[in-house]
Amino acid sequence: MSIFWIHLKKQALMVEVFGFKSMVFMVVLSIALLVLPLVLPQLPPPPMILMFVPVLVMFFLVMLVFSHKSCPDMIYTSDTKI
């Protein structure tokens, strides 16, 4: 198969996954993200404490990844007896 046909299949798949409205929304959102920073006035920098929020969130996520499970052999069942 040539690369051209593969490219056409990928485009057809994108049209199947995303509808016309969602594609228009993504295009408008992309244009807004490109134009609005040029039009709007510059904002002052945030307080220093807010600059640490993404760092703390990332630290928490890394700790979650490397922490061990407390009950590794626990099995969950959906049996309910009244």
The tens digit of pLDDT for each residue in 20-73 reads 888 899 999 999 999 999 999 998 988 999 999 999 999 999 998 888 766 566
Residue 81 forms part of a structural domain = no
Q: Which domain does 7 fall in, by range?
A: 3-66
Residue 14 forms part of a structural domain = yes
Total tally of structural domains belonging to the chain: 1
The answer to whether the pTM exceeds 0.85 is no
Residue 72 forms part of a structural domain = no
Residue 77 forms part of a structural domain = no
Residue 78 forms part of a structural domain = no
The tens digit of pLDDT for each residue in 36-48 reads 999 999 989 889 9
Comparison of pLDDT for 8 and 60, the residue scoring more: 60
Q: CA distances (Å), 23 to each of 9, 12, 18, 29, 31, in order? A: 17, 13, 6, 10, 12
What is the DSSP track for 8-54?
A: HHHHHHHHHHS-HHHHHHHHHHHHHHHHHHHHSPPPPPPPHHHHTHH
Residue 23 forms part of a structural domain = yes
Residue 74 forms part of a structural domain = no
Residue 79 forms part of a structural domain = no
Taken in order 18, 22, 27, 32, the sign of the CA dihedral is: negative
